[in-house]
Every structure is written in structure tokens, then in C-alpha cells.
Amino acid sequence: IELERICREEWEKLPKYRCLMKTERPKPNTFIIRCLQWTTVIERTFHVDTPDERDEWAEAIQMVADSLAKQEEEGILCSPTSQIENEVNEEEMDTSTSQHKRKTMNDFDYLKLLGKGTFGKVILVKEKASGTYYAMKILKKEVIIAKDEVAHTLTESRVLKNTRHPFLTLLESYSCVNTYFSSQLFFHLSRERVFSEDRTRFYGAEIVSALDYLHSAKIVYRDLKLENLMLDKDGHVKITDFGLCKEGITDTATMKTFCGTPEYLAPEVLEDNDYGRAVDWWGLGVVMYEMMCGRLPFYNQDHEKLFELILMEEIKFPRTLSSDSKSLLSGLLIKDPNKRLGGGPDDAKEIMRHSFFVAIDWQDVYDKKLVPPFMPQVSSETDTRYFDEEFTAQTITITPPEKYDEDGMGEGDSERRPHFPQFSYSASGRE
């Protein structure tokens, strides 16, 4: 009974489209729960001592899954996305004008849905008073709490509040990002198959600049992948999604959590070792390899085989790739993090000195003085041609809470306050 209770708690934290797999890698008696969140495959890996213990877990998890599926069919549980439709809390909309007047949901026009997932949705909005466009992220507190995502949500909030860099998304108020993205980098690469080395150098330099800044702020990103790289309307990179960031990490500090997207996981994470900020440079190697080679450096639909490739396989390059490109990617994709390019005390500076970036003026990168190799062809700030029509064609539904008390929270929100301290935010006065 206790095992089923634990399984139920863990299973309810996961997105839908779930499956469970048994494997003997990276350790014996491993089992993996695979889920789909947005368009990203999420995996959680667990290790036990014996095959019998693993079978007990699998049986308990399956019982919980069947029970929850039955409840959902009977309408006892609401889907996360339908819950998102039911309530938007005004407290998140604490944008300030010069008069420091609190903004509410009614101060925005809701134009197009840009994306939707388990925990909420992202909507293109326009502030009525200023005419400014924002990408607004709307979250459902009950879902965040129920799925034990409070820590990740607050981490993302803190990182967005406390960082300011030209290639990181900037928070104006919690849930409102000030730069309207024109496109996802993955969208363009999937169309063009490969980027030139010059184009990859431009994007790579902006990513290095952003990661250098995060590391100097003792933040490790841990989730670098093409899907988290956007282009703004001028063609510059914007890194999004800071939920997996780890704060307080110095050059010698390490982490233990197994997290990330399977194809981008560094060997030290798969081996369940303590790891440091060099995981971000492995991620950089993977995304730059994708850009220049048109495919992942290691890939197999079977994740057990994929992990074996990441741990054991040597990197292979197209013959057309230049020696500088091969040298950079080889250095970033060294399996030993201590020997990896950027894995030493110089961190990003070691990468900046590499011959691949010899022509780059890093101050010009930060100042956005380099001319982007591609300018998104958008006719206006409401042009969403580079976003998936699966979302942009949908009708936007916003249903605010039925009742608020004096501080703008619904009557049922009192017990949620401890989970979201100092959650509201305004960027007014930031330099």
C-alpha cells in the first residue's frame, strides 16, 4: 500500500503520454519513465537493488496508472490544460507603469496562442496602454503544486528576475517577457537542414556569451537544446526556459540531479556522477554539431542504445567540415568533463580563445554589433508565421477567477501563498 501511495504521488507529477521501460544501463536494475511535455520527451530514471524490486515498482506504477486513467475517464480528474483554462491569477500581472499602477488581465489584448503544455500556455499579448507586445506565460498554481514543480517554477522566476543579458529572455513582470520572439531556431534548422559555419559561429558566439554570464552569476543552465533557442525579430538568439537551472554553483561546486533531454545529456550525468558547469559546454557542442552537420552527434530511438553511444561512441564528422569546426566540436564533446573544452577554471574564456572564434570580437557580440546572418521575415509583431499552426490557429480562452480578495488572490488561494512567496515582479527601475 505504501509503495502504491508513493507511486501515485510520483506518477501524478508527470505529464501525460507516459510509458515505463526497464533497462540495465547506465546501471543494473534501472527503470525509466518516459513522458511527453509540450513537444519534448521527458525521462526520469530510477535505480533499485534487485530485479524483483524493480518488478514490484513496475507493477505498482502500472496499477496507479490504470487507476488514474479510469478516474480521468469518469471525469474525476481534470486534464492540466483544462485546469489552465479555468483560472488566471491577477497577482502574476504586477507590471508597473510610471505611476506604479498594478496591471491586471484586463490591461492586455490576447492575440495568438504561441504554445501550450502541461503547466500552462504562452500567448502573444499587447498591452492596451502602451501598445507594447509581450509573450505572456500563464501558469496554473494548482497544477504546479500537484506535480511538484514549485521549485522549478520559482527557480525560473528567480533566474529571470535576477539576470539581465542581451541573449537571455528579460522579465518585465512575472509571466510577461519583454521581447517578442519571431521564431524558434529549431524551426529554421529543420527547414534548411544545415547552417553554414559562419551562421553557426554567430549563434554559437551569442550562446557562449549568455552561458558565460550565467556561470559568472553562479548559475548552471543544464537544458541547452535547439528547442530552447529562439530568435528575436532582429535575428539574435534568446535563450528561454530556465526551470532546470541550478543556482549557487561555483567553478568547483557539483550537482547530482539527473535531468535534461535524453539526446543532450552529458556522459557524466548518465553515469550518475557528481557534475559541474561543464555540462553546459557539452550541450553547446551538441547544438552546434546539429547546426553544422544537420543531425545529432549521437542518436538512437532506443534510449538504452542512445546512452551507450553517448558514453562510448567516438564523434564522427562530415568530410566537408573545416578543421577548426572539427576541433571545436571535438573539444566540446570530450566525454571527460575535466578535459572538455571549457571544463577548466577558465570556463567560457577557453572556448572564446578557440581558433573557431578567432575573428570574433566578444564585446561586439555582447553589444549586438555583429550583423545577424538571417533576419526573420515578419511583417509585424503579430506575425507568427514561424510558430506551429497547431497552436496559432487555436482560439484563446482566458477565464479569470470568479472572486478575488483585497490582495488580488482568490478566496481559495490562501493555502497556496506559502508556495509562491514574492512571486509578483516588476522590472520598473532596472537598468
Active-site positions? 223
Number of other CB atoms surrounding residue 66 within 10 Å: 10
Is 316 labeled as ligand-binding? no
Phi, psi of 121 (to 5 degrees): -145, 160
**CA 235 – CA 375 distance, rounded (Å):** 5
What length does the chain have? 431
Torsion sign, CA atoms 327, 328, 331, 334? negative
∠272-278-281 over CA atoms, to 5°? 120
Quote the CA–CA distance of 389 and 108 in Å, as a whole number: 23
Burial label for 393, CB within 10 Å (0-12, 13-18, 19+), is exposed
Closest CA to 203 of 370, 388, 387: 370
Handedness of CA 287, 293, 298, 303 (dihedral sign): positive
What spatial distance separates the first Cα and last Cα of the chain, rounded to whole Å?
A: 55
Q: Which three cell numbers stand for residue 404?
A: 478575488
C-alpha cell of residue 333: 564533446
Estimate the share of the chain in helix, then strand, then coil, as percent rounded to the nearest 5: 40, 15, 45
Residues within the annotated binding site for ATP? 147
